[in-house]
């Protein structure tokens, strides 16, 4: 039976090659003094930062450029940006980057509006997070197709002092406009492109595999996007400059984490919870962490909701096995084959992560994202600390 839901998609999508030049004209509808939040200069994005700044100035806006948002955005960096935003009396944020920059920008815009510090607002165990009272407007210009942050309410940041990484969601922070320019997306190199596609896959399957409820509409939408993603993944690794394919992947990113893919069967995000300590303790980029975690998670949790795992295995991975439990166990096998065929598969040792913090990281997961029972995190059923350690063990 479907669970009750609410959904709307308030972000205006502006898609097309070269359309980043319209950012000034678009931003002028929302503000007068813009903070461009982006990565450290010195990358292929430098000319795009210049284009965005010129477009904003041409449209009559004043501009402050804040560079230095990290691939795992640090609360401490975001707080520095918030101080500058307030001191400069900015009134709009242009988030120019991947999920980390857009997530960070959400905390800048909403915390500058609502007060306090960015970390006050994240989910952290039993603590009641502070709530935003509103947000300055955000325009996102995604430079990577992965997080879906360009048009949703979520945001993940890292506390560099405590090695914790956590998230919050707020409708105030949903970007007003996302300018999706596939010319910009061409700059993403091979390994990051692979990691990003697999991050999109993880978003598509989190709710699918963690909610026992059935919504055929949501399942079919998700399966369609997974098939589209896999097709276009094969194409993009043949030609990183193909802007048509970049455009298709951009849509998978946007709608894969929009809520649309989970209408009527909203679940939880155990794979992301288990990945977060890898990024927090070792500064591993999130997408790469998902590459490592997904096959192991699918193996350990296959018996939790076998009918859901089996459905995905049959509909997207060619499994014909009729027994649900047997078919559910084949999902991990098939996903691993896909990762290996595309030369995407990575282990913890491939990414330089040692084995000595598995207990500590599993403690982090159950403490920061508690499930319904003690020493667990939320999943298709409560995922125990021992199961989380087992996932890390399988990733070695």
Summarize as ranges the residues that interact with Fe ion (CB under 5 A).
199
The single residue listed with the structure tokens 């450029």 is 65
CB of 165 to Fe ion, least distance (A): 12
Give CB contacts under 8 A, 24+ apart, made by 250-253: 250/15, 250/142, 250/145, 250/180, 250/182, 250/185, 252/145, 252/200, 252/204, 252/225, 252/228, 253/142, 253/145, 253/146, 253/147, 253/148, 253/150, 253/196, 253/200
CB of 386 to Fe ion, least distance (A): 24
CB of 21 to Fe ion, least distance (A): 29
CB of 98 to Fe ion, least distance (A): 11
Please identify, using beta-carbon distances, which residue of 136 and 255 lies nearer to Fe ion.
255
Burial call 93-125: b when 16+ CB within 10 Å, e when fewer: bbbbbbbbbbbbbbbbbbbbbbeeebbbbbebe
Residues 6 or more apart from 218 whose CB is under 8 A from it?
207, 208, 261, 262, 263, 264, 265
Backbone angles phi, psi at 319, to 5 degrees: -75, 135
Please identify, using beta-carbon distances, which residue of 112 and 269 lies nearer to Fe ion.
269
CB of 275 to Fe ion, least distance (A): 8
Please identify, using beta-carbon distances, which residue of 53 and 199 lies nearer to Fe ion.
199
Which residue's beta carbon is nearest to the bound Fe ion?
199
Please identify, using beta-carbon distances, which residue of 64 and 274 lies nearer to Fe ion.
274
CB of 10 to Fe ion, least distance (A): 21
Please identify, using beta-carbon distances, which residue of 271 and 327 lies nearer to Fe ion.
271
Please identify, using beta-carbon distances, which residue of 199 and 387 lies nearer to Fe ion.
199
CB of 272 to Fe ion, least distance (A): 6
**Residue 298, Ramachandran bin (φ over 0: left; ψ between -120 and 50: alpha; else beta):** alpha
Q: Which helix (H) or strand (E) holds 12?
A: strand 12-15
Residue 352: closest CA among 273, 272, 284, 293: 284
Please identify, using beta-carbon distances, which residue of 120 and 199 lies nearer to Fe ion.
199
């Amino acid at each position: 039976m479907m669970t009750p839901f609410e959904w709307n998609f308030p972000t205006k999508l502006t898609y097309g090659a070269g359309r980043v030049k319209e950012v000034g004209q678009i931003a002028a509808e929302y503000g007068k003094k813009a903070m461009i939040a982006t990565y450290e200069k010195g990358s292929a994005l430098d000319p795009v930062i210049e284009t965005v700044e010129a477009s904003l100035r041409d449209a009559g806006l004043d501009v402050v450029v804040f560079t230095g948002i990290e691939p795992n955005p640090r609360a401490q960096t975001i707080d520095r940006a918030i101080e500058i935003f307030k001191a400069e009396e900015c009134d709009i944020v242009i988030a120019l980057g991947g999920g980390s920059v857009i997530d960070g920008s959400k905390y800048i815009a909403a915390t500058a509006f609502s007060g306090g510090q960015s970390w006050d607002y994240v989910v952290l165990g039993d603590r009641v997070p502070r709530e935003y009272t509103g947000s300055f407007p955000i325009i996102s210009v995604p430079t990577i197709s992965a997080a879906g942050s360009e048009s949703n309410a979520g945001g993940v940041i890292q506390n560099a002092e405590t090695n914790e990484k956590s998230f919050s969601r707020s409708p105030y922070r949903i970007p007003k406009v996302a300018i999706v320019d596939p010319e910009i997306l061409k700059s993403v190199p091979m390994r990051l492109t692979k990691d990003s596609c697999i991050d999109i896959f993880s978003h598509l399957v989190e709710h699918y595999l963690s909610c026992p409820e059935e919504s055929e509409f949501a399942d079919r939408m998700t399966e369609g996007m997974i098939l589209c993603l896999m097709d276009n993944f094969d194409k993009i690794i043949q030609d990183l400059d193909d802007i048509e394919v970049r455009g298709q992947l951009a849509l998978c990113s946007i709608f894969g984490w929009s809520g649309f893919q989970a209408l009527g069967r909203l679940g939880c995000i155990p794979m992301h919870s288990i990945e977060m300590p890898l990024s927090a303790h070792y500064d591993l980029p999130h997408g790469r962490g998902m590459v490592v975690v997904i096959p192991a998670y699918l193996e350990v949790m296959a018996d939790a909701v076998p009918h859901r795992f089996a459905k995905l295995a049959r509909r997207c991975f060619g499994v014909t096995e009729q027994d649900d439990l047997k078919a559910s166990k084949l999902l991990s096998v098939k996903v691993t084959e896909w990762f290996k065929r595309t030369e995407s598969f990575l282990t913890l040792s491939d990414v330089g992560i040692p084995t000595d913090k598995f207990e500590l990281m599993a403690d982090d997961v159950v403490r920061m994202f508690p499930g319904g029972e003690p020493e667990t995190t939320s999943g298709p059923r409560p995922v125990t600390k021992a199961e989380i350690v087992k996932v890390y063990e399988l990733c070695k």
